[in-house]
């Protein structure tokens, strides 16, 4: 309850609560984010088939695999540039336009991937076209993630920003789970020869069609009240937004990058790398490892909502400090216990996956760290550059560390989580825009 003074008289103003329009915005944003992340990661689940079809049969298997994953990695390298460009126009022309464009820019290349002729049909043009489409996907997801965080945070009431960011992040992680489930379904219902022959196309075609449907749904979303008010008051950035970010908001950039490092370590190591580590290091059956990973990813989705909600109540700093240390301890205990008794995998991985959900509080910090006029650009630059660097180097660093220490994955995650916990002491909110609607 807040008090305002109108004409000399005190009048109580009740803070606005989440309404039907807020839930519609959150639902459509989370659905679009899930489908877009599905489109972005489905490539990796069918990398063996893609490698056979889009590169010459005469080359060695290791080279084919390297080239295939090189194309997959190109999507990550394209994220910063795509994100920065889309954020620039998002700060100057409007959040909704870029929010809708990002889904379109993802769904069309995904659909075209499912229709792409193979090397046997068009020769070297096949991998070149595949690379171009993958770069477009990377540019799209580079704009989608920060754009979605900004969009939902500027729609909901101030006290519900944490919940909104957590819910949106849960939608993004649900896309990873959806990709895993679809890939498992295709591998279960089709023989390997059929997958190589035609069935590998099905997940891409589905992703493209659902993405276009999401573009249609986003037509019903409205521009954020915050941007509309900035435009009305003629308070939009007077110069290139990124220039203002780098000149005036260095602290916010550094804090956001360090927290993104923690986010990328949690996702890349705990969720994406761990199933393979479980099989190689603890000799756990692939089916068991993938089942446990599915449960952990589901718990991660729930954990993002919980962490975002808690951050909105007690603050993102406390949430990330406690949650980060808890994640470090949980992942270490999981690795240590599996070396003794692998039968405890499912509950240990489920708890660890839930604690990975602490990353749902990271966007809350970034949204509050940058003023509205340059918010999109500030978040996009910090998040995408940090994720491209740390997300790209993490598998290499962990693999090199494992040569001398089998506990390297847990130690790496633990060290980055401790760094993230220390970073919370340097969190500082930017002056927030006044808005009667929030």
| Any domain includes 435 | no
Residue 299 located in a structural domain = yes
One domain for residues 147 and 256: no
**Residues 213 and 241 occupy one common structural domain:** no
φ, ψ of residue 13 in degrees (nearest 5)? -120, 120
Q: Are residues 143 and 181 in the same domain?
A: yes
Beta bridge partners of 3: 12
Among residues 106, 114, 166, 165, which one has the least CA distance to residue 140?
106
Examine the domain organization and report whether 351 and 406 are in the same domain: yes
Q: Is the pLDDT at 176 greater than 70, yes or no? A: yes
- Give the DSSP H or E segment for 422: helix 408-423
Residue 26 domain flag = yes
When mean pLDDT is compared over 23-32, 45-54, 195-204, 417-426, the highest value belongs to: 417-426
- Residue 17 is classified by DSSP as P
Same domain for 257 and 199: no
* Residue where a domain stops, chosen among 206, 235, 264: 235
Q: Does residue 8 form part of some domain? A: no
Q: Are residues 131 and 244 in the same domain?
A: no
Question: 209 and 244: one domain?
Answer: no
pLDDT in tens, 11-54: 444 556 777 777 888 888 888 888 888 988 888 788 888 888 99
pLDDT > 70 in the chain, percent: 94
Mean pLDDT of 77-99: 86
Quickly count: other Cβ atoms within 10 Å of residue 126's Cβ: 18
pLDDT tens digits, residue range 212-223? Answer: 888 888 777 787
Tell me, what's the pLDDT at 25? 82
Nearest to 292 by CA among 346, 357, 353, 347: 346
Residue 13 in domain = no
What pLDDT score was predicted for residue 289? 86
* Farthest-apart Cα atoms in the chain, separation: 85
CA–CA gap between residue 327 and residue 276 (Å, rounded): 20
The last residue of one of the domains, among 204, 235, 266, is 235
Per the domain annotation, does 375 fall within a domain?
yes
Domain at 382, CATH number: 1.20.1250.20
Are both 205 and 252 inside the same structural domain?
Answer: no
In whole angstroms, how far apart are CA 351 and each of 219, 244, 304, 326, 327? 38, 41, 13, 10, 9
Is there a single domain that holds both residue 346 and residue 268? yes
* Residue among 244, 252, 245, 263 nearest 303 (CA): 263
Residue 131 has pLDDT above 90, yes or no: yes
Evaluate whether residue 164 is within a structural domain: yes
pLDDT higher than 50, residue 427: yes
Residues 208 and 243 in one domain: no
Mean pLDDT of the chain: 87
- Which range marks the domain in which residue 97 is found? 19-219+226-235
CA 57 to chain centre: 35
Most confidently predicted of 17-31, 97-111, 372-386: 372-386
Classify strands 9-13 and 2-6 as parallel, antiparallel or unpaired.
Answer: antiparallel
Last residue of a domain, one of 184, 211, 235: 235
Q: Is residue 374 in a domain?
A: yes
Q: What tens digit of pLDDT does each residue of 350-370 get?
A: 999 999 999 999 999 999 999
pLDDT recorded at residue 324: 97
Per-residue pLDDT of 243-297, as tens digits, reads 999 999 999 999 999 999 999 999 989 998 888 788 888 888 877 888 898 899 9
Residue 16, pLDDT score:
65
Q: Assess whether 351 and 404 both reside in one domain.
A: yes
Count the domains in the chain: 2
Does the pLDDT of residue 8 top 80, yes or no?
no
Return all residues near 260 (Cβ < 8 A) that are at least 6 apart. 362, 382, 383, 386, 387, 390
Q: What is the pLDDT of residue 251?
A: 96
Torsion sign over Cα 25, 29, 32, 38: negative
Helix (H), strand (E) at residue 2:
strand 2-6
- What pLDDT score does 436 carry? 44
Element (H, E) at 5: strand 2-6
Determine the Cα–Cα distance for residues 96 and 119; give it in Å rounded to an integer: 39
At 90, the pLDDT band (50, 70, 90 cuts) reads: confident
Angle between the N-to-C axes of helices 345-356 and 286-314, in degrees from 0 to 180, rounded to the nearest 10: 40
**Residues 251 and 126 both lie in one domain:** no
The CA angle 58-204-184, to the nearest 5 degrees, is 85
> Who contacts 316 (Cβ-Cβ below 8 Å, separation ≥6)?
162, 361, 362, 364, 365, 368, 424, 427
3-state secondary structure of 9: strand
């Amino acid at each position: 309850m807040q008090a305002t003074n109108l004409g000399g008289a005190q009048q109580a103003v009740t803070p606005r609560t989440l309404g039907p329009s807020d839930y519609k915005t959150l639902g459509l944003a989370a659905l679009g984010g899930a489908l877009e992340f599905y489109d972005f990661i489905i490539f990796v689940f069918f990398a063996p088939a893609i490698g056979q079809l889009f590169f010459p049969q005469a080359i060695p298997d290791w080279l084919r695999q390297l080239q295939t994953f090189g194309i997959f990695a190109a999507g990550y390298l394209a994220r910063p540039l795509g994100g920065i460009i889309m954020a620039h126009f998002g700060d100057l022309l409007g959040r909704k336009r870029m929010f809708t464009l990002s889904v379109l820019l993802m769904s069309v290349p995904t659909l075209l991937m499912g229709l792409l002729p193979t090397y046997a049909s068009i020769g070297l043009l096949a991998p070149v076209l595949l690379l171009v489409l993958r770069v477009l996907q990377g540019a799209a997801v580079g704009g989608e993630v920060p754009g979605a965080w900004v969009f939902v945070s500027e729609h909901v009431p101030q006290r519900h920003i944490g919940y909104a960011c957590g819910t949106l992040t849960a939608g993004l992680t649900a896309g990873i789970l959806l990709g895993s489930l679809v890939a498992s379904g295709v591998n279960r219902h089709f023989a390997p020869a059929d997958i190589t022959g035609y069935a590998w196309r099905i997940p891409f075609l589905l992703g493209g069609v659902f993405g276009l449907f999401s573009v249609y749904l986003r037509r019903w979303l409205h521009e954020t009240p915050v941007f509309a008010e900035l435009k009305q008051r003629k308070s939009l950035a007077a110069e290139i937004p990124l220039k203002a970010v780098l000149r005036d908001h260095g602290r916010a950039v550094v804090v956001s990058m360090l927290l993104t490092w923690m986010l990328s370590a949690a996702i890349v190591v705990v969720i994406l790398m761990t199933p393979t580590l479980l099989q190689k290091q603890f000799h756990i059956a692939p089916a068991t490892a993938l089942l446990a990973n599915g449960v952990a990813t589901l718990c991660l989705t729930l954990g993002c909502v919980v962490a975002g909600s808690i951050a909105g109540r007690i603050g993102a700093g406390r949430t990330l400090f406690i949650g980060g240390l808890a994640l470090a301890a949980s992942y270490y205990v999981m690795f240590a216990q599996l070396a003794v008794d692998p039968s405890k995998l499912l509950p240990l991985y489920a708890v660890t996956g839930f604690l990975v959900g602490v990353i749902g509080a990271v966007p809350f910090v970034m949204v509050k760290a940058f003023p509205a006029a340059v918010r999109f650009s500030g978040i996009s630059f910090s998040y995408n550059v940090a994720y491209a660097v740390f997300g790209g180097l993490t598998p290499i660093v962990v693999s090199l560390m494992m040569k001398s220490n089998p506990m390297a994955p847990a130690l790496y995650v633990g060290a980055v989580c401790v760094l993230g916990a220390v970073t919370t002491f340097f969190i500082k909110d930017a002056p927030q825009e006044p808005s009667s609607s929030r």
